[in-house]
Amino acid sequence: MAQPQPVEMTDNSTGMSYLDSLPRRVVTVFLPLIVFVFVLLFPFYWMAITAIKPNFQLTDYNNYSPLWVVEPTLEHIKYLLFETSYPHWLWNTVYISVAATVISLVTSVFAAYAIERLRFNGSRWVGLGIFLAYLVPPSILFIPLAIMVFGLGIYDTKLALILTYPTFLVPFSTWLLMGYFRSIPFELEECALVDGASRWQILIKVLLPLSVPGLISAGIFSFTLSWNEFIYALTFIQSSENKTVPVGVLTELVRSDVYEWGSLMAGALIGSLPVVILYSFFVDYYVSSMTGAVKE
C-alpha cells in the first residue's frame, strides 16, 4: 500500500521522435513539410500579388521581378467593385448560401433526430438512403434538374439555386448530425421524458443546446459547399444580376482574348475571402465535420 507510485509516463505527446536526431528530423520532416506548404500556398500568394500589380508590371518580367510588386495599386479592385456587377454577385452568393444552409440545417435536424433517436420503423434504411444520396454527384443531376427548374418557372432566379442546393447539403448535414446525436447520452432524454417533457421539448431544450458544435460544423460546411457550387449556378442562371461569384467571374470577367489578369485575380481573391475568414474562425469545427463525415 505504501509503495511509491511509479512515475507516470508523460512522453506520449512526443511519441518516439526523441529517437531521431535533429539533423535527421530536418531532412525527413521539416524540409518536405516546407515544400508541401509552399506548393499548397503559392497559388494564393500569386493571386494576391497579381491583384495589386499595375498592368505594366504584370507581363514585363525583364524589368520587374514577377514575384514582387513595386507601386502596388488598388485599380483592379476598384474596377471590380465599381464598374462590374461583382458586388451584386457577392450579395447573391451570400443570400443563396445563407438561405440554402438554413433550409438544409432545419430539415436535417428533424431528419437526423427522427432517424437516430425516434428510431421509427425503417429508420435504418432511411439512414442508409441518406448516405447513398450523398454519393450522387451533381454532374449527373444537372440536366434533369435544369428541365425541372424550367418547368417550375424558376429558371434564372435565385430560388432555383436555393431549392436545388439542399440536394447535396441535406444528406451531408443529416449524416453529420446523426453522428453527433449518437454521441449524446440517451439518459438525458430519458430524464426529460420522465419529467414530462414532450419530444418537441426534448429536441429544442435538451438535444439542440448540446449539439451546438455539431450544428456549427454542419452549418459552416454547408455554407462553404453552397458558396463553392458551380455547375448548378452555371446551368440555371442566365442573367448577369442573378449570377453567383464563381460563375460571374468566369463568364463575365473573361472577355475576348485580352485577359485582364489583375481584375480576374482580384475577383478570385475577394470571392475566396469570406469562406477563408469563416474557416479561420472555425478551423476545428470544419476539420471535425470533414473527418466526421468520413469516419463512420
Partner 1 sequence: MANVAAAEPTHKRSFWAGIGQGRHVLGIAFMVPAAVFLLFFLTYPLGLGVWLGFTDTRIGREGVFIGLENYESLWGDSLFWLVVFNTLLYTIAASILKFGLGLWLALLLNENLPFKAFFRAVVLLPWVVPTVLSAIAFWWIFDSQYSIISWALIKMGLISAPINFLGDVTNARASVIAANVWRGIPFVAISLLAGLQTISPSLHEAATLDGATNWQRFRYITLPMLSPIIAVVMTFSVLFTFTDFQLIYVLTRGGPLNSTHLMATLSFQRAIPGGSLGEGAAIAVAMIPFLLAAILFSYFGLQRRKWQQGGAD
Site for partner 1 in 40-99 (CB under 8 A): 40-41, 43-44, 46-47, 50, 58-59, 61, 66-67
Write down the least CB distance from residue 30 to partner 1, Å. 8
Beta carbon of residue 110, minimum distance to partner 1 (angstroms, whole number): 4
Stretch that binds partner 1, among 38-46, 83-91, 181-189, 210-218 (CB under 8 A): 38-46
Burial annotation 239-268 (CB, 10 A radius, 16+ → b, else e): eeebbbbbbbbeeebeeeeeebbbbbbbbb
What the block records as the C-alpha cell of 129 is: 438512403
Phi first, then psi, for residue 117 (nearest 5°) are -110, -35
* CB neighbourhood size of 166 (10 A): 21
Classify residue 219 as exposed, middle or buried by CB count within 10 Å of its CB (0-12, 13-18, 19+): buried
Q: Give min distance, CB of 93 to partner 1, in A.
A: 9
- Judged by CB under 8 A, the chain residues 192 through 221 that form the site for partner 1 are 198-200
The CB-of-256 to partner 1 minimum distance in angstroms stands at 15
Measured between its terminal Cα atoms, the distance across the chain in Å is 44
Q: Taking CB under 8 A as the rule, does residue 37 contact partner 1?
A: yes
Binding mask 111-130 for partner 1 (x = CB under 8 A): x-xxx--xxxx-x--x--xx
> Quick one: which of 22, 140, 194, 258 contacts partner 1 (CB under 8 A)?
140
The H or E element spanning position 149 is: helix 138-151
22 binds partner 1 (CB under 8 A): no
